[in-house]
Amino acid sequence: MTMAPVDPSAPYDRDNIFAKILRGELPCTKVYEDEHALAFEDIHPQAPVHVLVVPKGEYVSWDDFSAKASADEIAGYMRAVGKVARELGLVESGYRMIANIGPDSGQLVPHLHVHLCGGTNLGRMIPA
Ligand code: DGP
């Protein structure tokens, strides 16, 4: 599926892919779920472990989330990201968290998500 870069000024689109996954309208390979977050395998993995962690609320980006989410949502989501990394066994070997926000980042899905990547040496943070 071809997707356009996310427009950060656009309102939340309830038909985005991750919204549909959260509602159970599209399948995913679920890794973790709690009150605040859902984690599932990325459909195009770029590392041996590549999991997406999304908040359950309707937030387009980190900017949106950090400005509008409640303290409970923010704490719950942050804890969930850490818990997923722990449960995936990534803490000792290390891992990378990536959150693409807006056009320059290449964000394609307009629902906030953190990529958790690991399982190998990931090299430079931003390839030259
Ligand atoms: P980003 O550029 O940060 O918005 O990355 C979006 C990621 O979402 C990308 O790595 C591929 C993944 N993705 C896109 N569509 C689906 C889907 O339908 N299911 C799953 N599991 N992942 C998807």
User: Which residues, listed in sequence order, are joined to residue 30 by a DSSP beta bridge?
Assistant: 40
Do the domain assignments include residue 124? no
Q: How confident is the model at residue 125 (pLDDT cuts 50, 70, 90)?
A: confident
Mean pLDDT of the chain: 95
- Within 13 Å and on the Cβ side, how many CA atoms surround 54? 25
Phi and psi torsions of 60, nearest 5°: -75, -40
CATH of residue 64: 3.30.428.10
pTM listed for this prediction: 0.96
Q: Is the pLDDT of residue 75 over 80?
A: yes
What is the Å distance from ligand 1's center to 100 Cα? Answer: 11
Is 127 contained in some domain? no
Q: How many structural domains compose the chain?
A: 1
* 108 CB near ligand 1 (under 6 Å): yes
Instruction: Note the pLDDT of residue 2.
Output: 55
Asked whether residue 3 is domain-assigned, the answer is no
113 is a domain residue: yes
* Between 117 and 127, residue with greater pLDDT: 117
Q: Which domain holds residue 31?
A: 17-118
The answer to whether position 2 is within a domain reads no
d(CA 105, CA 98): 10
The predicted structure's pLDDT at residue 19: 98
The rounded percent of the chain whose pLDDT value lies above 70 is: 98
